[in-house]
Amino acid sequence: MPTWEEIRELKLKTGDVITEDWYDKLVDILNRLAFESAVDVYGYIHRDLVPLADAVFKIGTPERRLYAIHVVYAYVGQIIQA
């Protein structure tokens, strides 16, 4: 996964010339984003999804819920019925 620093280095200013070296770096970063991320551009998961902190992220909202979840095992800290 590319770092923010690597991405920031690609920022061009008005008048900057796009060099072959710059283009090669861009292609490398795009390939790493597409093929080395946990989730690819098509939504397929390639490895474990691990949040940066415990119990701070949500999936969906009361208005935008998931229709179905297919899992093998579920480890749930709390079950709340609506």
Q: In which region does residue 4 sit, left (phi positive, over 0), alpha (psi from -120 to 50) or beta (all else)?
A: alpha
Query: Pick from 42, 40, 41, 5: which is nearest to 25 by CA?
Result: 5
Residue with tokens 């996964």: 1
pTM: 0.53
The span from the CA of 55 to the CA of 18, in Å, is: 43
The span from the CA of 2 to the CA of 45, in Å, is: 18
Q: What is the pLDDT along the chain (82 residues), one digit of tens a residue?
A: 788 899 999 999 999 999 999 999 999 999 888 778 888 878 888 889 988 899 999 999 999 999 999 999 999 888 888 7
Question: Which secondary structure element, helix H or strand E, spans residue 34, and what is its range?
Answer: helix 20-35
